[in-house]
Amino acid sequence: MTRHPGLGRLTAGLATATVLCVTASGCVTVHGELEVLPGAKKPEAAQALKDFTDAYNAADKAFDPALDADRVTGSLGAINQAGLKARQTYNPDGNKAHKPLVLDDATYVIPKKAGWPRWFLADTDSNRDQDGGKLDTRWLVVFVRSGPDALWKASYLAVLPPSQVPEFTLDEDGFATPVKPGDDSLAVAPAELSASYTGYLQSGAPDVFTPSTATSGWRETRRTTRRAGFSYQYVDQPLTSAAFAPLGLRTEDGGALVFFSSKHFERQTAAKGLRPEVNADVKALLTGEVNSSLTKERVSSQLVHVPPREAAAGSESGSGSGGKVRMLNRLPGLVAAKGE
């Protein structure tokens, strides 16, 4: 199926030695905090999940992005905020079909790390199972906290069947192992996933992903999209900075579960006398006037399983078949549109 984090205060004396730097692991170190600590305590993680769900429901009921703007960030935040903005435009009285989201039966996968940001994964059951509840799913929500005075914000969301949620590598205290952005023990380092994915969509290389609807299938759909009087152009861009940085956890099979983001543009150009179709969502997020062309901008979050590098090497030599990155979930959302 394919289709998205007791932190100690420093004493006043240490506060004068404030340091802000990006470490080799991609962590931002603030106030000289270099001690490896759990990203959150479980009660804190549970409160973060509740705060997010409450804010999400309030925003969805009113179609008001301001009501959960301080509880979302990254690709999930971009998608959520743009979607609410659009629906508020053509439903000013709110969401008459609102059904509160429930996220329960939560397991918190909390990595230990040094510095900021700190983060954790909430593996939850939702009341939004597909096919009328016949298809059981788990909602995996990543929460990030950028500093000691910051709020926990949801940055990634992925929806998976329970069978696809892996076993994570845990230490003797039950804490998970985060994956460094440049980890070269994996078939593809997390920091390279966004560029690898967008490069693959553009040219077919690097060919590091297993076939799926979000990889080879999407490339084929683009190639075969036809409509008389219209032409299509696609541009894909990596999205890796700040709140959009990849986040990964080591799994027991030697690989990693990694969330990453990307950006995608689709331009539709019409022949003389024709005009691209503008639906309600596009109209609500549109700048410019649609005469002959319409460009849609989407942000997407992906969840993948990345095998260890030796598995990739074995696959290339013909001694193995599990060496490619497997796409588990893709969550795209329209965030802007431009007419010309």
> What is the model's pLDDT at position 34?
79
pLDDT digits (tens, 9 = 90+) for 178-237: 999 999 999 999 999 999 999 999 999 999 999 999 999 999 999 999 999 999 999 999
Instruction: Compute the chain's Rg from CA coordinates.
Output: 21
Question: What CA–CA distances, in Å, run from 45 to 110, 133, 144, 257, 265?
Answer: 9, 27, 10, 20, 35
On the question of pLDDT at 65 being above 60, the answer is yes
Residue 184 located in a structural domain: yes
pLDDT digits (tens, 9 = 90+) for 290-323: 999 999 999 999 999 999 998 766 655 454 456 9
Q: What does DSSP say about strands 28-30 and 20-22: parallel, antiparallel, or unpaired?
A: antiparallel
The number of folded domains in the chain is 1
Residue 1 located in a structural domain: no
301: domain range? 12-339
d(CA 110, CA 100): 27
On the question of pLDDT at 246 being above 50, the answer is yes
pLDDT confidence band for 124 (50 / 70 / 90): very high
Residue 131 located in a structural domain: yes
Q: Could you tell me the two tokens for 143? A: 């929460």
Residue 58 located in a structural domain: yes
Residue 5 located in a structural domain: no
Residue 2 located in a structural domain: no
Q: Could you tell me the two tokens for 80? A: 């959520």
pTM for this prediction: 0.87
Kind and range of the H or E element at 29? Answer: strand 28-30
d(CA 23, CA 216): 35
pLDDT confidence band for 2 (50 / 70 / 90): very low
d(CA 178, CA 115): 13
Residue 3 located in a structural domain: no
The burial class, CB within 10 Å (0-12 / 13-18 / 19+), for 92 is: exposed
Is residue 204 a contact partner of residue 271, using CB atoms and an 8 Å limit? no
Angle, helices 216-224 vs 190-203, to 10°: value is 30
On the question of pLDDT at 15 being above 50, the answer is no
Buried-exposed string 285-315: b where 16+ CB fall within 10 A, e elsewhere: bbeeebeebbbbbbbbbbbbbbbbbebbebb
Residue 7 located in a structural domain: no
> What is the model's pLDDT at position 129?
81
For 136-160, what is the mean pLDDT? 96
Tokens 């999205």 belong to 239
